[in-house]
Structure 1
Amino acid sequence: MTTTSTERVTFGPDRLTRLITEIAEGALERERTGERPFAVIDLVRESRLGALRVPSADGGGGASLRDLFATVIALAAADVNVAHILRGHFAFVEERLRLGGAERRRAIDLALSGMIVGNASTELGSAPAGAFTWQTKLTPDGDGYRLNGRKFFTTGTLYADYAEVLASNPEGATVIALVPTDRAGVTVLDDWDGMGQRATGTGTAIFDDVAVSADELLQFAPPDADTEPPALYLSGAFFQLYVTALEAGVLQALRDDAVAHVLQRPRSFAWAPTTTPADDPLLQREIGEIAAAAYASEATVLAAADALAAAFDADVAGTDPGLDLAHEASLRAAAAKIVVDGLAQKSASQIFDVGGASVVRQAHLLDRHWRNIRTLASHNPTSYKAQALGAYYVRQTRLPGSGYF
């Protein structure tokens, strides 16, 4: 397991720019060859980027939530696989900072050390997503426990030092175990076969009689069917907005690739309005629409991040007992997804209109943008978001309080 330093972390604009530039180098070749970005994640560890949101007073980067999401967008523009791999880690840190207690210090120390946390929540099966019923079980064993189960959609865990595992205890309640990925009985498979996000390790994690100590169990704020609103608006909004931020980053990469392709085109069609593709007003219009979509998507995500930050601060201060600000943050995250999904999918098709048949050649790999966007947009169907948003505005029906919504 890789560890680095727990000294103070600083992230000035120049340092972040250099890191993101280094991550971008070789991203296209990794996509072409199927190389997994283990070396890039080691670079993330060494830079201790995972401590970006840790407060400055605790030795971290001191970034605001807006800063974090702006960084995620820039990372996704450089290599969306790498940005997605870190989703579970940033969510883990965010949740521990919000809930406080002794676990806050543990999360801070882990992030400052450069270690990465992966996600091991979802299971395949007949139980509805978001139902918080798990086949993965945690059973008592002396002074500790044993963990047994199988998870899927474990994004980032293939590269992580720890896995945050959701399981059921003997009473059927949800518990969280923070388990080292190199512990006996933990197996992480690189078996994700999605058409996009191919290198994120979004596959299977197996926990076979894994020893878990009592101090490796984390606080969990479960949904309460008898309490309105449910208690998962904040964590759910963070997870969902993160995916939308990834799409916004892909849009920026798509814009840059569209410009580069038009500039390198040596010829146009005989009936085109100009002989030079870069001067063709029709192609300029396509690129202008893609660029506008990239701009609007980033602005939308950052505005939703501001709402999430207000809810986070109020929750920590205890000034939002009804979770009204948390619900507002969830509303904005849902609205952002609806808008950005539409813009991103349209733009991912438009890029093929800036060139002739040569634009679809594997040498350019422009299809990766569509594949990645379509895969990201499939995280929780947009239609459910739109219906729930409409029900709120028409009937004031609150959104589902699930981290999966």
Structure 2
Amino acid sequence: MTPISSNHILVVDDDPAMLRIITAMLRQWRYETSVARDGLEAWDIVQQGHVRLVISDWMMPGLSGPDLCRRIRSTAFDNYIYLILLSGRNDRTSLVQGMDAGADDFIVKPVHPEELRVRVRAGERILRLEEELDERNRRLNRINHTLSEAYSTIRHDLESAASMQKALLPAPLRLPGVTVEWLFHPCSFVAGDIFDYFTLDRHRLSFYQLDVVGHGVPAALLSFTLNRLLSQGAEEKRLRRQEAIQDEESVPQLLVSELNRRFQSGIDPLQYFTMIYGTLDLDSGRVNLTQAGHPKPLVLRRAARRVDPVGGGGFPVGMFADVGYETICFELAPGDRLVLYSDGISECVNAAGEQFSEARLSALLEQTCDLPVAAVTGRVGQALLEWNGDDNLQDDITLLVLEREHGRDPDDQPGY
């Protein structure tokens, strides 16, 4: 839109004397003027797009002042046109009729110079405000366009990061002696939750689940770093070589303690994570795990059809330097299940603000104890969706289920 100066005024009157008087006053006040001797001539000039302010007589042949106002208001011009009607009528009905026709102001003849001057100035102020508003809108449009392009770029990058993160997740696992299934639903493009499981030899399965505090990109970056460090047992292998570990029970707590030492952030004291790291002896069903601020693991005792929480709590990794961690030891009988979950499940809220809770999760696990593990994770996901009411989650959701199976042959070779 090209701004047209409000200093240019079109004067419309079929009385030559009145035209000379009004244009003389306007030029004295340094306004540029054009003249039209009737409404039709004025309409032709207005359509050229150079006029922002019109002073028009009421009674004219061909096209009256109110009809000229109506025609202007019914046409979509690039800029607003300020209309002042002149009339010898000094009654309320005429004023209303003129304003209804689209006039902005009304002057009763004879025209007094000071009254004309202040009313023209008022029109100028309104037109100037419109120009300023148009310029602000143009700036906002440019900013919005830039932001839209930036958002598209960020969205594309986040979608790529989300695809990479999903590619890091392990496939569901079925080995002689154990089945592992999971549920993973990030609350944004990328998540702070991550998990993995792997065999270092044919007798043991190692597993972990962690939840980086916060959401979005900062949490996901630390999650990526931790996944790279822990992937396929890299850190556990290094620790076993370095420490020459003889006691299997100490592996989880040594590994978590090492992570706590290495991830003390002096930059952001709120950058920490909760986790569980553990091992499962595929022959005996013995579990050794360390809990670091993560929700308590749940053990489904198949024979009793009962879920028992295990562990206590512990401090999150990276929060305090001088803290110790303990190993929790217990056994899974054939058919038992070990369930690890992030607080995005227990703290998932419904429309009333009520949390899903550990108790509801435990009850659901008990109700589904006869279903295959893959069906259990699906049922939990569906229950959370129904509880939440939509797919707009406030936190990442992660569920990891390990089931010890019957009939493990110690000579079977695990395959991953």
The TM-score, its normalising length taken from structure 2, stands at 0.25
Structure with larger RCO (C-alpha < 8 A, sep 6+): 1
The TM-score, its normalising length taken from structure 1, stands at 0.25
**Structure (1 or 2) with the greater helix fraction:** 1
Question: Larger C-alpha radius of gyration, 1 or 2?
Answer: 2
**Structure (1 or 2) with the greater strand fraction:** 2
